[in-house]
Amino acid sequence: MLLRSGLAVGVIAACMLPFAANAEGGVQMQRDITWNLGLEIAQAAIAACALRNVQISVAVVDRAGRMRVFIASNNPTPHSLELARRKAYTARTFGRSTLEWRDATEPGKDVFGQRQLADVIPLGGGYPIKVGNETIGGVGVSGNNQAGDEGCAKAGVEKVADQLK
């Protein structure tokens, strides 16, 4: 009888584990980048760099780091797609501009090891896409100098600031 009671309690406890592990509920709601929001950001970044007659590639990634949009102005350099993607991914991953992240992870800094993560790159040109303090994506620009790339990426995000609320 004692064995049967203990077994019953054990079965009940095992059945309750999934509910205890997910005490906040079974559905998670998240903000994310839509393809048309990504396209607006990318087009605004291209327009910002076009003012300086600079040809660029732009990548926009969502909250999971997946590329949602890639677009290039006329005649970008061949490597700019990969650099733009990695800059966007880095900005998304760390929730800050890639110039800020580059400076924070210089050799000798405590977090220098972050540079060893796959697909991150310590080059300017990436900018996070945020709703409040929540990072929901990133934009990366490649084709100019690092500060210029970052300025164009930031201009892309600023263009849609009213939608990021």
Q: Please choose, from the candidates 22, 154, 161, the residue with its C-alpha nearest in 3D space to the C-alpha of residue 88.
A: 154
The reported pTM is 0.83
Distance in angstroms (rounded) separating the CA atoms of residues 13 and 116: 42
**Euclidean distance between CA atoms 73 and 71, whole angstroms:** 7
- Give the number of residues written for the chain: 165
Tokens linked to 22: 């997910």
Give residue for tokens 């800050």: 96
Judge contact between 33 and 60, C-beta under 8 A.
yes
Per the structure block, which two tokens stand in for 161? 């600031």
As a whole number of angstroms, the distance between CA 30 and CA 36 comes to 17
At 5, is the pLDDT very low, low, confident or very high (cuts 50, 70, 90)? low
**Domain 35-163's class?**
alpha beta
Place of tokens 């997946």: 66
**What crossing angle do the helices spanning 146-159 and 35-50 adopt, rounded to 10°?**
130
Average pLDDT value for residue range 42-55:
95
pLDDT tens for residues 113-160? Answer: 999 999 999 999 999 999 999 999 999 999 988 889 999 999 999 999
- 102-127 burial, b if ≥16 CB within 10 A, otherwise e? beebeeeeeeeebbeeeebbbbbbbb
Mean pLDDT, residues 55-71 taken together: 97
Give ∠ CA 104-115-65 in degrees, rounded to 5: 100
Q: Domain-by-domain residue ranges, the chain?
A: 35-163
